[in-house]
Structure 1
Amino acid sequence: MENEKKYSQMSEHELRTEIGTIMEKARKAEQLGMVNEYAVYQRKAVMAQSYLIDPKTIVKDEIYRIDGDEGVFFHVDYLKGRFAWGYRLGGERAMEALPIAMLKTVKEGK
């Protein structure tokens, strides 16, 4: 196994290159009908994108849209690393963690 860098150790350029590579693998998996592999690559890309975002831009007790889940909103209780912990609005208030790259301000892209 090759000695891969952690996302936290990568520069912005390295992260963007890694995201491009992951998205290309996802595209190929999708074309080949490998749904599970496609989903794994999509999640990896979101995690890498989370390292391009300053966690300080995610505000505790604010509500965000969930990217890729139209009409669903997420209330942030706290941050831990590159994950926002909270709950989806309108649900049973079950605590869950989302990578911060999945969160978009309510004002964006109405």
Structure 2
Amino acid sequence: MEKRYSEYTQEELRNEIADLTEKAQKAEQLGMVNEFAVHERKIIMARSYMLNPGDFQAGETYAIDRDPGHSFYIEYMNGVFAWGYRQNSKKEKVGEEEEALPIAMLGEKIK
């Protein structure tokens, strides 16, 4: 049975990220778009477990990595996931659905 990322040590997470990065690069070179995307998502999850969820606060807005047109308003935290909604550049809510983002997808706090 495989271990969950929450059970990994920091060193194991670093090794997993390095392994996944290598696999993602190979998949990209071979044009395997779906496999590349899976590895990228796993990297984001592993990176999330290397971060401190306490560094992200409900009621705050953060930039979203790789999505410069939107920010993310956190309504609450649950483990390494920030729950809330995306905002456009005018700080207007985008979409009706609440969503969860792994904290590794969040960038700088927006003031």
Regarding TM over 0.5, the answer is: yes
Tell me by how many angstroms 1:93 deviates.
4.2
Match of 1:94 in 2: 97
- What CA deviation, in whole Å up to 9, does each residue of 1:33-92 have, x standing for no partner? 000110000000000000000100011010001111113100000011211000001313
Q: For residue 84 of structure 1, give the secondary structure of its aligned residue in structure 2.
A: strand
Consecutive unaligned residues in structure 1, runs of 5 or more: none
Q: Tell me the TM-score normalised to structure 1 length.
A: 0.90
Q: For residue 107 of structure 2, give the secondary structure of its aligned residue in structure 1.
A: strand
Runs of 4+ residues over 4 Å off in structure 1: none
Please, which of 7, 10, 34 is the counterpart of residue 9 of structure 1?
Answer: 7
Tell me by how many angstroms 1:6 deviates.
1.3
Please, which of 17, 20, 32 is the counterpart of residue 19 of structure 1?
Answer: 17
Please, which of 47, 55, 67 is the counterpart of residue 69 of structure 1?
Answer: 67
For these two proteins, the number of residue pairs brought into alignment is 105
Consecutive unaligned residues in structure 2, runs of 5 or more: 89-93
- Over 3 Å counting, the alpha-carbon distance change for 1:102 and 1:64 in structure 2 is same
Separation (CA, whole Å) in 1 of partners of 2:84 and 2:74: 5
